[in-house]
Structure 1
Amino acid sequence: MKIDHKTTLLLIDLQKGFEDIEYWGGGRNNPEAELNASKVLKAWRDKGLPLYHIQHCSTTKGSPLEHNNTGNEFIDLVKPMKDEPVIQKNVNSAFIGTDLKKQLEEKGVTKLVIVGLTTDHCISTTTRMAGNFGFETYLIEDAVATFDKIGVNGEKYPAQLIHDTALASLHEEFAMVIQSSDLMKLL
């Protein structure tokens, strides 16, 4: 993978509302995800490479990610700088209901690097669409995370299992799943 100005970083839903672990299921994996995402962001900024912050503006009443809720704010580790673009969405994909695809195409972007929350929802959906749109996509495994889930029969699935199976479904089909340390070697 060659990283150049045709490679864009997508920082998805790194928002304060995800700090409410109980709201999202009670357990979470990869407590270092946001820190790892911030390290990727710093390296990206140092190289002057293009990036987009994606912000989930939930339409679900009572969600920590509702537009006027403080949980909708980006976490301090990855807060956008004033000149960095922010794409607001209210569904799982950063491409649906936004002009992200158009903006990327107009800039000649061919490769995407994805970090953020949550592995099995917005990360997975955006990654699948990116791959289907023809972007060469890289998902940074240690810079994404998710929460415990309750199955259809009431069984509880731990966050790490949800994370691992979501990534297994994406790897080599929609994206290459790599570690942040591997990405850093390319920068």
Structure 2
Amino acid sequence: MADALLIIDMQTGLYDGPEKPFERERVLATINQLIQRARNASAPIFVARHTGPEGSPIAAGSPLWQLWHGLDVDESRDHLFNKTRPSCFLGTDLAQQLNAAQVNELVIVGMKTQFCIDTTCRVAVELGYSVILPEDGHTCMDTPAFNAQAIIEHHNATLAGAFVKRVRAAEISF
């Protein structure tokens, strides 16, 4: 059973930008189901927002920086934090918050697969956390080299075993 849920970069500027994430509605529904399961088990929920420098489209407080309105996050009880790098740990107090909550096993979901999901999974393992990656709980956009589905499948396969426990979201309990 997982100890906590970490949601990465489910922000208006990424979720509803000019390039839409692969299967975005399904991924959002999957993440919202995991939020409800974590809440029902009183497991902590951590929510990262990528924050750009002053003047950028995703500067703190800007409309595109806001969490997507369809994400079932409760700012009064969930732990929201800002990050400026692909890792949710670098320059943040996430590790301290996880340790204070006695988290050993962490479920990681959100966007973008090849950047913040991949980096955060790898760093979490380096820091001693066990990571569960729902293969159907993260997404990204097409790139010139690969379509989003191929990127997701590649990262699911690459991270599985060495870095994460790869499962379907429906199999996760808190």
Residue from 35, 43, 60 that aligns with 1:67: 60
Alpha-carbon distance, 1:159 to partner: 0.8
Larger-gyration structure (1/2)? 1
Distance 1:107 1:130 in 2: 15
Equivalent in the alignment of 1:101: 95
Matches within 5 A, 1:158-169: 158-169=147-158
Deviation at 1:60, TM superposition (A): 8.0
Residue pairs, 1:1-187, within 5 angstroms: 2-3=1-2, 7-22=3-18, 26=19, 28-31=21-24, 32-59=26-53, 62-63=56-57, 65-76=58-69, 77-150=71-144, 156-183=145-172, 186-187=173-174
SS at match of 1:82: coil
Contact 1:53 1:80 in 2 (8 A): no
What secondary structure sits across from 2:21 in the alignment?
coil
User: What is the rounded CA distance, in whole Å, between the counterparts of 1:164 and 1:61 in structure 2?
Assistant: 35
State whether residues 30 and 142 of structure 1, in contact with CA within 8 Å, keep that contact through their aligned partners in structure 2. no
**Is the alpha carbon distance of 1:18 and 1:107 closer, same or farther for their aligned partners in structure 2, counting shifts above 3 Å?**
same
TM-score normalised by length of structure 1: 0.84
The CA distance in 1 between the partners of 2:54 and 2:114, in whole Å, is 18
Which amino acid in structure 1 is aligned with residue 167 of structure 2? I
Q: 1:19 to 1:84 in 2, by over 3 A?
A: closer
Task: Return 5+ residue gaps in structure 1 as ranges.
Answer: 151-155
Structure 2: gaps (5+ residues): none
Measured after TM superposition, the shift of residue 67 of structure 1 is 1.8
Q: Secondary structure at the match of 2:43?
A: coil
RMSD: 1.8
Runs of 4+ more than 4 Å apart: none
The separation in 2 between residues aligned to 1:18 and 1:124, in whole angstroms, is 17
Asked if the contact 1:30–1:144 (Cα under 8 Å) also holds between the matched residues in 2, the reply is: no
Q: Is contact 1:112–1:138 with CA below 8 Å preserved after alignment?
A: yes
Contact 1:15-1:75 at 8 Å conserved across structures: yes
Of residues 54-63 and 43-52 in structure 1, the stretch that sits farther from structure 2 once superposed is: 54-63
Structure 2: which amino acid aligns with 1:74? L
| Corresponding letter in the other structure for 1:69 | S
Indicate if the aligned counterparts of 1:28 and 1:160 stay in contact, CA closer than 8 A.
no
